[in-house]
A = this chain, B = another copy of it.
């Protein structure tokens, strides 16, 4: 299964000069989606993950399917004001400005082996914020798994020392 063929380049989105990697064609293809989930799950099993924590919103699509494949719980990392119960929150840098993600404070037990998932890793800021939140709750981040990695933005460096796995990597924008 060539997942790369199911990822569409959309030039100048969200702004001029950026080539957006669009996974919606992959999501329309059940065989490709199944292959992606199985490959993410193989990595998660190798890392002995016990819980999937995924970032809002695109990370939820395969994240939920991944947790089901692994027979683990699923925890959503969300933008401020979305989670109804008590939360912990972390700010992270965007290209311009900052954003915030939250986890429910009761989302995981101390020592839980957590896989962090998002559809795409660019600079790694979002996933790093999720890792930090998991650690703050006493969880053990055993790996970060993405469908798409924009390697030239060096998200792996920002996520170190956490282990990173991606299914399709792009070396240049």
Q: Answer whether A30 and B84 are a contact pair too, CB < 8 Å, given A24-B75, A57-B60, A76-B24.
A: no
Interface residues of A in 1-58 (CB under 8 A from B): 8, 10, 13-14, 20, 22, 24, 27-30, 33-34, 37, 56-58
Question: Could you list which residues of chain A lie within 8 angstroms of chain B, going by C-beta atoms?
Answer: 8, 10, 13-14, 20, 22, 24, 27-30, 33-34, 37, 56-58, 60-65, 67-68, 71-76, 78, 81-85, 104, 107
Q: Is the CB of B61 within 8 A of A76?
A: yes
Q: Is the CB of B73 within 8 A of A107?
A: no
Q: Is the CB of A64 within 8 A of B73?
A: no
* Residues of chain B within 8 A of A84, CB atoms compared: 10, 13-14, 20, 22
Copies in the complex: 2
User: In the complex, what's the smallest C-beta–C-beta distance from A99 to chain B, in angstroms?
Assistant: 14
Q: Is the CB of B74 within 8 A of A33?
A: yes
| A60 contact from B30, B37, B60, Cβ within 8 A | B60
| A64 contact from B20, B62, B75, B78, Cβ within 8 A | B62
Q: Answer whether A104 and B24 are a contact pair too, CB < 8 Å, given A73-B29, A76-B58, A85-B8.
A: yes
Q: How far is the CA of A18 from the CA of B25 in the complex (A)?
A: 38
Q: How far is the CA of A84 from the CA of B13 in the complex (A)?
A: 6
| A37 contact from B37, B68, B73, Cβ within 8 A | B68
| A65 contact from B8, B10, B65, B107, Cβ within 8 A | B65
* Residues of chain B within 8 A of A82, CB atoms compared: 57
* Residues of chain B within 8 A of A104, CB atoms compared: 24
